[in-house]
């Protein structure tokens, strides 16, 4: 998600608190928020898939391989 979209989310949030949003702006805000959350989940999943756990016996286990690399929704 680019910075312009994040800035737009913030503008809509401020406007919502100050004066309210039109129905079109509410729909835009909802779509932008869903896109933002999906992006956060994708990034978190990628980070978790790259974590290696080291067992006390010295073996390593990759979380992505253990739980399967799944596509984030």
Write down the pLDDT at residue 65: 84
Write down the pLDDT at residue 21: 94
Q: Name the residue range of residue 57's domain.
A: 3-67
* Nearest Cα residue to 38 out of 10, 71, 4, 67: 71
Specify the residue for token string 């984030």.
72
- C-beta atoms surrounding 17 within 10 Å: 9
Q: Is 72's pLDDT higher than 70?
A: no
For residue 12, the domain's CATH number is 1.10.287.540
- Asked, for residue 73, whether it belongs to a domain, the answer is no
Whole-structure pTM value: 0.72
Number of domains composing the chain: 1
Cα separation, 62 vs 52, in Å, equals 4
């Amino acid at each position: 998600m680019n910075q312009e979209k994040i800035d737009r989310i913030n503008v809509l949030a401020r406007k919502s608190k100050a004066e309210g949003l039109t129905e079109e702006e509410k729909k835009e805000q909802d779509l932008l928020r869903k896109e933002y959350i999906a992006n956060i989940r994708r990034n978190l999943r990628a980070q978790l898939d790259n974590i290696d756990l080291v067992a006390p016996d010295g073996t390593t286990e990759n979380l992505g391989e253990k739980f399967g690399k799944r596509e984030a929704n």
